[in-house]
Every structure is written in C-alpha cells, then in structure tokens.
Amino acid sequence: MGLFFGIAGLASAVAFPGTVREAPDPTRRYAVVWSEATDDKPHRLSLVDKKSNIQRPLATFPRHVSVLWSPDSTALSVTDWEGSDYSSIQVYFVEATKDSVSIPAALKKAKGILPQIAQNHHVYFEAIEWRDRSTLLFQVRGYGDHDPSGFTRRFEYGPAGKFRPVEGSAGE
C-alpha cells in the first residue's frame, strides 16, 4: 500500500512489508524506513531525518505493521500485527526527547482493565486516523469468551494522554 492523501489531506496508513520501503511524513522532511527481516533479525523500522540524514531506530516487528503520520509530522502511530490473535499500537514522536506511548498500556492505566480486552482471546488495536495534530482515533475489536459475536470500541487518544470513547462503538 502506498501513501495516499484523501480529500481532507490526511494520509492513509502505509503497510510494511510491502511494495514501498518508506513512509514519508506529510512535509517530506522525515520518513519511516523499513528494513526487511533476515535469518537472525526481525523486520525493523527507523525514523530518518531527510535534511540531516540522521537515522533513529524505532521498532522491530515479527509479521507486519502499518504506519500513520500525524498531519503536522510531529508524531506517528505504528499498528503492529504481532500475532494472529493480537495487535497493538505504539505512538512515536519525531522529537527524540519524548518517550513513545503504548496505547494498550496507556488505555489500561487510564480506564482500568476493560472486560472486552481482558476476557477475549482475540483483541486487535488499530490506528484509524489522526483527527488533528495531536488526536489519534483508534479502534479495539475482537472476540472470544466474553464477546463470542465480537465487539468494536473506538477511542480518541489526545493531548496530555487523555482517552475519550467515541460514540457508536459496537459491543459497549
């Protein structure tokens, strides 16, 4: 999947591994670069500053990921499809002094253990879009013992690490 700018100007996610090796930010100053797995190393993602050519390691992953840039290029989300029954989201900041944020861990800390997440054996976190420069819309969906027919919940992760449920989520 390549980079696509829709009517609103927001980029869609870029999937790795795939046909492209990098996901440029909206300003084209930075890019997330994918390095293919080898026999002894997993797939790797690095953040490259195109002006200075400085490269910073971001993450490793076993299967596949999707990268989604914020509209102002200060942050990006990585949805890591870690296993057949689980995926997670990590938010990284271009400014190296800011720590990355694990969305599943931060949601648990902010909202407590949600039964849909704790009591189902297939749970998928997925970044949907950046609503603005600091607000990420994501969904959690899955199924299992607690929700045999499945569930979907959407949240916004915004400034100061706050979470807001988005109305209309199925299985609430």
pLDDT tens, position by position, 86-122: 999 999 999 877 889 999 999 999 988 888 999 999 9
pTM assigned to the model: 0.88
What pLDDT band is residue 138 in, cutting at 50, 70 and 90?
very high
Percentage of the chain surpassing pLDDT 70?
A: 91
| Domain 14-166 indexed as CATH 1.10.3470 | no
Residues 27-69 have pLDDT tens digits of 999 999 999 999 999 999 999 999 999 999 999 999 999 999 9
Q: Where are the beta strands (DSSP E) in 12-167?
A: 14-16, 22-24, 30-35, 43-49, 55-61, 64-69, 75-83, 86-93, 101-102, 122-132, 135-143, 151-157, 163-166
pLDDT at 49 (0 to 100): 96
Rounded Cα distance between 172 and 151, Å, is 8
Rounded Cα distance between 96 and 151, Å, is 36
